[in-house]
Amino acid sequence: MFNERSLPMLATLVVFFVLYGYGFVEYKGFRDSLVLTNLLTDNAFLIVTAVGMTFVILSGGIDLSVGSMIAFIGVLMASLITGFGMHPILAMIISLVVGTAFGAIMGYIIAHFEIQPFIVTLAGMFLFRGLAYLINLDAVPINHPFISDLADIYISVPGRGGLTFIAIVMLLAVAAGIIVARRTRFGMNVYALGGDTQSAELLGVPIKSTQIRIYALSGFFSSLSGVVFAIYTGSAYPLAAVGVELDAIAAVVIGGTLLTGGVGFVFGTFLGGLIQGVIQTLIAFDGTLNSWWTKIAVGGLLFLFIILQKVIVHWVRRYSGNRGSA
Amino acid sequence: MNKQFWLKHQKAIGPVVSLLVIILGTALLTPGFLKLQMIDGHLYGSLLDVLHRGTPTALVALGMAVVIGTKGIDLSVGAVIAICGAVAAVLTVNTDWPVIVVLLAAMGAGMACGLWNGFLVAVLGVQPIVATLILMVAGRGIAQMITGGQIVTFHSDTLNAIGNGFFLAVPIRVWIAIFIVAFTMFLMRKTALGMFIEAIGANARSSRLVGIEARTLVVIAYMFSGLCASIAGIILAADIRGADANNAGLWLELDAILAVVIAGGALSGGRIYLGLTMIGVLIIQTLTTAILTSGLPAQYNLIVKATIVLLVLLIQSPRTRQTISAYLARKGARKDV
């Protein structure tokens, strides 16, 4: 466990505790459990998206379509519920299936036509945003007793805090991500693919079908995030979640996953998403800093972690006799 | 025209034909699309509008084509546009410096951004997507810091002229773009610079072995991209007479990358097609203008763009080429029998 692969994630853990500890010491209000549970709720959609993105980046790819997917799924779900009078559960299932299918199609194009993921998912990004506009141009409220019931679920924890439904969904998604990554054959294949595609192929990893499944999985997680986002805001908006793909990539990188693929942990991504939330909360508690400092701070952290990864990789190469295990 | 000409310009056929088809198609759907009018000594018309609206994209795509030639990518150009627009606006409002100094300062800011990207890529060896992602995330925050979080509006006759003025019946910004594109083409084709950059993109190691100073050239490529983005930023700020840190140049990097890809520039590097990239820009801009003038709701814009990009990608993909060449080989073999 204590090797060069987990070092970046340990660094992430330290950064999280340092930031959270700073808030704990500096601000009285920060000590309440409400801050922590709000952190889970407010960053749920980002973390759910980032879990899917972790698999994509572990395999050495990238998915730029996730932000548009969140907006598209939200608008789709809203129109199914309010426009077609569908029960929310059915609407959610349809939304998840549609999102997963779109992810699989992108994966198919990437795997079979050998086009760079970057460009295919870029086209996907335009397409989903366009489809969202096509369904609806304005923000629409999602009014359904079932949705408000879900939004009202609140499991109290010591202090004033409590877990909301979407925080629970997020935690379950993270747990599922960890299990899929570490305990299934598919997860192992993803790591193998990102480590070295050629050796993976020689070892019998089905490259193409794994790639399709990776992007389908990312489609599933980002559409789940769309559902979470719709419950969180109680509405759907085609311009929602602009730029979330970058936040998700940042969460994955800050979480210690190597962008070259092959090394990283879903739990690290969870921490990476929380760190972005903590930065935001700290800036809100400070009160004198403007919100744009969040972007600068996240950019700075991104830089630090990339440098850290470089140093570790360099260090490992040097001391493991050029085997280049990272 | 002889066979050699066709062979030499084989790559150009697809993009050029696509552009003509799109222009003709639009002209059929929207009467008056091809009409150009002279009003008060200025040319007006949809085609000129395409050029006018397309100049920022063209400039950004120019820098992007060079960066992609080194096997890189520059995601930060949108943020750089916001930063440089902010610098130009704030200096115009808060100082009484001559316009030329303000412009040089904004361009300097763009080159500094490029230097940072180039440093990460060439010196620290960070992947280009990641290296430029940092500035993409942080850049708009920096731009907001410069403008104090507000949309800074300004008045300057020279900047207004850059944004909306005319020279010899054609918008000044189009002249600026033509001049920069022509100068870059000259540098890339008539000096060794272009060959060096393509050599780095094709094979960084062997180019170093033949003595090409790869690091410096990569840094220069990113600085050039930053410079192009800064000029686009100045034009966009001058156009609306203000700097909007949140929205200036939003998603322009994607249009620029699409322009390079549509033109057949492989993202794997080693090739710079500046002329074709400009045709790619015209294709994207004509499509946008065509959708707007055709009366189709603007929301179709993204879907049409995405569909066309996917089609172009599928046609250009190695798999399709293999299938076609296998088909042609079979056909050829049958003929031989």
Q: How confident is the model at residue B261, as a pLDDT?
A: 80
Please measure the distance between the N-terminal and C-terminal CA atoms of chain A and give it in whole angstroms: 15
Q: Say yes or no for a CB contact (<8 Å) between B139 and A123.
A: no
Q: How confident is the model at residue A250, as a pLDDT?
A: 87
A198 CA to chain B: closest CA distance, Å? Answer: 18
Q: Say yes or no for a CB contact (<8 Å) between B145 and A137.
A: no
Do A64 and A245 form a contact (C-beta atoms < 8 A)? yes
Q: What are phi and psi of A5, to 5 degrees?
A: -75, -35
CA B98-B102-B106 angle, to 5 degrees, is 170
Q: How confident is the model at residue A211, as a pLDDT?
A: 94
Instruction: Pick B313's closest partner by Cβ from A123, A253, A290.
Output: A123
Q: Chain B residues with CB inside 8 Å of A63's CB? A: none
Q: How confident is the model at residue A215, as a pLDDT?
A: 97
- The type of residue at B11 is K
Sequential DSSP letters for A200-241 = HHHTT--HHHHHHHHHHHHHHHHHHHHHHHHHHHSEE-TTTT
Q: How confident is the model at residue A1, as a pLDDT?
A: 45
Q: How confident is the model at residue A77, as a pLDDT?
A: 93
Query: pLDDT tens-digit profile of A58-75?
Result: 998 999 999 999 999 999
Do A174 and A47 form a contact (C-beta atoms < 8 A)? yes
CA nearest B123: which of B215, B212, B214? B215
Do B65 and B270 form a contact (C-beta atoms < 8 A)? no
Q: How confident is the model at residue B337, as a pLDDT?
A: 53
- The type of residue at A234 is G
Q: Chain B residues with CB inside 8 Å of A246's CB? A: 133, 136-137
Angle between helices B77-94 and B214-240 (to 10 degrees): 60
Query: pLDDT tens-digit profile of B258-299?
Result: 888 877 666 666 677 788 888 888 888 888 887 777 777 767
Do B12 and B1 form a contact (C-beta atoms < 8 A)? no
Is the pLDDT at A226 greater than 90? The verdict is yes
What percentage of chain A reaches a pLDDT higher than 70?
A: 96
Judge whether B300 is closer than 8 Å to chain A, CB to CB. Answer: yes
Query: pLDDT tens-digit profile of B123-180?
Result: 888 888 888 888 888 888 888 888 887 788 787 777 777 777 777 777 888 888 889 8
Residues 318-337 of B with CB under 8 A from A: 318-320
CB atoms within 10 A of CB A28: 9
d(CA B252, CA B64): 11
Element (H, E) at B44: strand B42-44
Is the pLDDT at B181 greater than 80? The verdict is yes
**Of B28 and A251, the one with more pLDDT:** A251
Q: How confident is the model at residue A326, as a pLDDT?
A: 41
Judge whether A25 is closer than 8 Å to chain B, CB to CB. Answer: no
Q: How confident is the model at residue B335, as a pLDDT?
A: 61
Judge whether A314 is closer than 8 Å to chain B, CB to CB. Answer: no
Instruction: Pick B302's closest partner by Cβ from A116, A126, A137.
Output: A126
Task: Look at the domain B16-295 and name its fold.
Answer: ABC transporter involved in vitamin B12 uptake, BtuC (1.10.3470)
Instruction: Pick B134's closest partner by Cβ from A134, A293, A302.
Output: A302
Q: How confident is the model at residue A223, as a pLDDT?
A: 95
Q: Say yes or no for a CB contact (<8 Å) between A112 and B319.
A: yes
Query: pLDDT tens-digit profile of A7-57?
Result: 778 888 888 898 899 888 988 888 888 889 999 999 999 999 999 999 999
Instruction: Pick B137's closest partner by Cβ from A116, A127, A246.
Output: A246
Do B217 and B121 form a contact (C-beta atoms < 8 A)? no
Q: Chain B residues with CB inside 8 Å of A306's CB? A: 126, 130-131, 134
**pLDDT bucket at A312, cuts 50 / 70 / 90:** confident
d(CA B285, CA B301): 11
Query: pLDDT tens-digit profile of B210-245?
Result: 767 778 888 998 999 999 999 999 898 888 877 787
Q: What are phi and psi of B163, to 5 degrees?
A: -75, -45
Element (H, E) at B76: none
How far does Cα A164 stand from its chain's mean position?
A: 19
Sequential DSSP letters for A153-205 = -EEE-SSS-EEEHHHHHHHHHHHHHHHHHHHSHHHHHHHHHHH-HHHHHHTT-
ipTM here: 0.77
Q: Say yes or no for a CB contact (<8 Å) between B301 and A130.
A: yes
Q: Say yes or no for a CB contact (<8 Å) between B149 and A137.
A: no
Q: Say yes or no for a CB contact (<8 Å) between B137 and A109.
A: no
Q: Say yes or no for a CB contact (<8 Å) between A126 and B130.
A: no
B40 CA to chain A: closest CA distance, Å? Answer: 39
Is the pLDDT at A325 greater than 60? The verdict is no
Angle between helices A207-233 and A185-195 (to 10 degrees): 110
Instruction: Pick A130's closest partner by Cβ from B131, B302, B314.
Output: B302
**Of B289 and B181, the one with more pLDDT:** B181
**pLDDT bucket at A324, cuts 50 / 70 / 90:** very low
Each domain of chain B, given as residue ranges in start order, spans 16-295, 296-331
Q: How confident is the model at residue A320, as a pLDDT?
A: 65
Rounded average pLDDT over A303-314: 79
**pLDDT bucket at A280, cuts 50 / 70 / 90:** confident
Query: pLDDT tens-digit profile of B63-117?
Result: 988 888 888 888 889 899 999 989 988 888 888 788 888 889 999 999 999 999 9
Instruction: Pick A133's closest partner by Cβ from B302, B307, B318.
Output: B302
Is the pLDDT at A244 greater than 50? The verdict is yes
What percentage of chain B reaches a pLDDT higher than 90?
A: 12
Q: Chain A residues with CB inside 8 Å of B129's CB? A: 62, 118, 259
